[in-house]
Homo-oligomer: A and B are copies of this chain.
Amino acid sequence: MDESFDIEPSEVVRAMFYGLGADGTVGANKNTIKIIGDDPDYFAQGYFVYDSKKSGSQTESHLRFGHHEINSPYLIQSANFIACHQQTFVEKTDMLAKAAMNSTFLLNSSIDKDQVWDSLPACMQKQLIDNKMKMYVIDGYKVARETGMGNRTNTIMQTCFFALSGVLEKEEAIRKIKKAIEKTYSKKGPELVTKNFLAVDQALANLHQVTIPKQVSANVKPIKYVSDRAPDFVKEVTAQMMAGKGDLIPVSQLPVDGTYPSGTTQWEKRNIAQRIPIWESDECIQCGNCSLVCPHAAIRAKFYDKSILEDAPTGYKSAHISARGFPEIRYTLQVYAEDCTGCGLCVDACPAIVSDNSDIDKPRKAINMELKEPYLEQEISSLTFFEQIDYNDRARIDFSHVRGVQFLQPLFEFSGACSGCGETPYLKLMSQLFGDRLMVANATGCSSIYGGNLPTTPWSVNSDGRGPSWSNSLFEDNAEFGFGFRLAAVKQHELAEQLLLENREHLDPLLVDQLLNAEQITESEIQAQIKRVNTLKHRLSQTDTESARNLISVAEQLIRRSIWIVGGDGWAYDIDSGGLDHVLASGADVNVLVMDTEVYSNTGGQMSKSTPLGAVAKFAAAGKQATKKDLAMQAIAYNNVYVARIALGGDPQQTLLAMREAEMYRGPSIVIAYSHCIAHGINMEDGLRQQQLAVQSGHWPLFRYNPSLREVGINPFSLDSLRPNIPLKQYRMNEERYRSLQRSDPEMADKITSDAQRVSERKWQLYEELATRATGSIAPHVELTAGKE
């Protein structure tokens, strides 16, 4: 078949756009279709290609326009306009493969029009020359920043398309774009309309043609999706999928048993951040907050002997560790520049303000967002060195403070979650605290997508090649699924115990007794048990009896498993609420983490039982009319369930405490974690601040309910946040989900806000009563023995 065979009439305008998930490219293109298609003289068509990853992956839009009916039910084979909305794609995607002769290429790049040619790879230069193409460049992000659009470049790039493609006459096109802007944004406020108008005008002023030389000037180098250091599987299978060629992979290359190599996101190096955090080693107080809140595990800390620095590359940054008595120990905070998504939460979390001109600008801190380009080379060089330094020994780390926890290796990293995601820091912390003992049953939702979507997974391994095990079953059975993990672990643990006792004399009786009686509460106790199990396995490998083989197969179960059932509010409050209730009632030693975004985030923002009174969501267009379900109180009613409400932005130390207590409690635990989300209609940079306001306003009081305290005569209910000191409205009006009701129906919004205020005040009163009651429980306690490890 001749692949160049093409039956499309030449008069059809065929345009292709390469964008980043959630950068607005797809939305703008749909809008373009409406603008042109509304004109009775035109026909329009659009196809959109993208995967189920959260924002941040590549999208392709295929648009056709013409004066006759379009009958081409396939993607564009020959494009006369191609736009690349992200400069990083230039090196990763052969995006001019479909370029027609004399076609136009538009690039969004921060590189000047006179230097941009040199930044293109050789193959692209060749395509531009061979196809006699025209090329234009615009620094869309700069225009966006300067016109108050933040990171939103979609309107700017759309304007350039209209200016260059010639589908419509230029002035008419601009008029229509502005009309569409008015229609789309006027209900979100007049400022947004003005900003967009300005962006349109500035787009045209900043669009420049690039002169195309006659000769290729770059060195020829093939497109590489992953580093040469990647494992074979990643190079042969994962990279193929990344390149959009998954269909070509033969079945024989796929894992036979459904398990999949983990730790593969590290090979993606998506390079999607415009700006990255730059560490000021001299100003840093080494508190660990920035690293704790980073949704992508792209900031890490290590301490090490200063002798290591002898081999450090130029510009490698370090500081004395801020602990007395260790003059020989250095500290480095390392940013993973190519993995960072540029959300800026780390800077927001940094308490070390160096200079504060907050009247005119953001304060300068010990870590600050800077344009990536100038720092990239240095950061990559520093990172390469940093990665060679061993992670610190878990047994030597203080788990009880954020400061200590920053030194724990995250085994959840570089996920495809949205930039600034409010969920992933909780998962990362979990992976740091419980390491390779962790087993995760993941409900369907955002976390199952960024957690295990092909081709890569962020769940990773430590230097021993061991990491958490993870799986997703169904939306409606995740609690039961994780409960099954525990049942299996208990059974295998019993078998291991029995085989140990049977072989006690042949093995070392002292070792056997230690293995059987290990407490395994502190990390050092756990590390000691891991060593014992390794010794045991070594001994067993020397005797080839059936009993020994059986014991080897279950020996790992002698290390205490940390089983976490994880999901969002759509899962926990709604779809599997019956299963969750059943598992909490079981008395089994499982931990539940609910990452509560108060809405079905993954499917686009539908109302759940967790959605607060008055919040606008899909299926609640006029604001939700019922109050948020109190899952915590329902769980507390069981009296033998550990329950916590946490918010990382509200109190990181309480978050840490609750996660650890939940895990240590030998019964069911549930931790409900406030997770800010793009569905809230916030600037994601402000996520942590909104968490704090949620706590301060009484929307999200922090508490822990620990039934084991009752055994020592202490009130199990502990209220961890202060009495609300700002009105609920102050928190709410920062979020579009509440603001839009205020605009569309102010009277209703005021009434519902004051209802909600009343609700939260009564709730607070209840919590205070629980916290001061002698028994401290809304339900009494019974010691349970069954169903636990």
- A residues contacting B by CB (< 8 A) are 574-579, 581-582, 585-587, 609, 613, 625-627, 629-630, 633-634, 637-640, 755-756, 758-759, 761-763, 765-766, 775, 777-787
Of B587, B755, B762, B778, which is within 8 A of A775 by CB?
A: B762
Q: Given the complex, which residues of B lie within 8 Å of A786, measured CB to CB?
A: 625-626
Q: A578-B576, A758-B782, A780-B759 are in contact. Are A585 and B637 (CB under 8 A)?
A: no
Nearest residue (CB) in B for A760 is: B780
What 5 A-B pairs come out closest when comparing CB atoms? Answer: A578-B578, A762-B780, A625-B786, A577-B578, A633-B637
List residues of chain B with CB within 8 A of the CB of A787: 625-626
* Residue in B closest to A770 when the chains form the complex, CB atoms: B778
Note all chain B residues with C-beta closer than 8 A to A637: 629-630, 633-634, 637
Determine chain A's interface SS by DSSP, over half rule. loop
User: Which of B578, B639, B778, B785 meets A778, CB within 8 Å?
Assistant: B778
Chain B: minimal CB distance from A348 (Å): 33
Q: Which residues of B contact A766 (CB under 8 A)?
A: 778-779
Query: If A577-B581, A755-B782 touch, does A629 touch B633 (CB 8 Å cutoff)?
Result: no
Contact B574 A582 (CB under 8 A): yes
- A87 shortest CB reach to chain B, Å: 48
Of residues A609, A766, A782, A786, which shows the largest number of chain B Cβ atoms within 10 Å of its Cβ?
A: A782
Instruction: Write out the residue numbers on chain B whose beta carbons fall within 8 Å of the beta carbon of A581.
Output: 577-578, 581, 609, 629
Given contacts A585-B629, A634-B637, A786-B625, contact A779 B762 (CB under 8 A): yes
Are the CB atoms of B765 and A782 closer together than 8 Å? no
Rounded to whole angstroms, the CA-CA distance of A759 and B581 in the bound complex is 20
A578: chain B residues at CB < 8 Å are 574-579, 581
A629 touches B625 (CB 8 A): no
Cα distance, A581 to B578, chains bound together (Å): 8
Tell me if B587 and A577 are in contact (CB < 8 A): no
**Which of A576, A609, A761, A785 gathers most chain B CB within 10 Å?**
A609
Known A-B contacts A626-B640, A786-B625; the reply to A633 vs B585 at CB < 8 A is no
A585 to B585, CA, bound (A): 21
A640 — which chain B residues lie within 8 A by C-beta? 626-627
Q: Which residue of B lies closest to A585 (CB)?
A: B609
**Across-interface contacts of A587 in B (CB, < 8 A):** 625-626
CA distance A780 to B785 in the complex (A): 35
Contacts of A777 in B (CB 8 A): 762
Q: Is the CB of A755 within 8 A of B783?
A: yes
- Complex Cα distance, B222 from A694, in Å, reads 80
Chain B residues with CB under 8 Å of A765's CB are 775
Which residues in B have their C-beta under 8 angstroms from that of A575? Answer: 578
Distance to closest chain B CB from A122 (angstroms): 59
Contacts of A782 in B (CB 8 A): 613, 626-627, 755-756, 758-759
Task: Report A771 CB to chain B, min CB distance, Å.
Answer: 14
A630 to B780, CA, bound (A): 11
What residues on B are CB-neighbors of A784 within 8 Å?
A: 625-626
Known: A613-B782, A759-B780, A782-B758. A639 touches B627 (CB 8 A): yes
Q: How far is the CB of A109 from chain B (nearest CB, A)?
A: 50
A629 to B780, CA, bound (A): 12
Chosen A-B contacts, 14 in total, with CB atoms closer than 8 Å, are A577-B578, A577-B581, A577-B582, A578-B578, A578-B581, A581-B629, A585-B626, A585-B629, A587-B625, A625-B787, A633-B778, A633-B779, A765-B775, A766-B778
Contacts of A633 in B (CB 8 A): 637, 778-779
A179 to chain B, nearest CB (A): 35
Contacts of A775 in B (CB 8 A): 762, 765
**A613-B639 Cα distance, complex, nearest whole Å:** 13
Chain B residues, Cβ within 8 Å of A779: 627, 630, 633, 762-763, 766
CB distance from A707 to the nearest CB of B (A): 12
| Beyond A577-B581, A630-B779, 17 extra complex contacts between A and B, CB < 8 Å | A575-B578, A577-B578, A578-B581, A586-B626, A613-B782, A625-B787, A626-B782, A626-B784, A627-B638, A627-B639, A627-B782, A629-B638, A633-B637, A755-B782, A761-B780, A762-B781, A765-B775
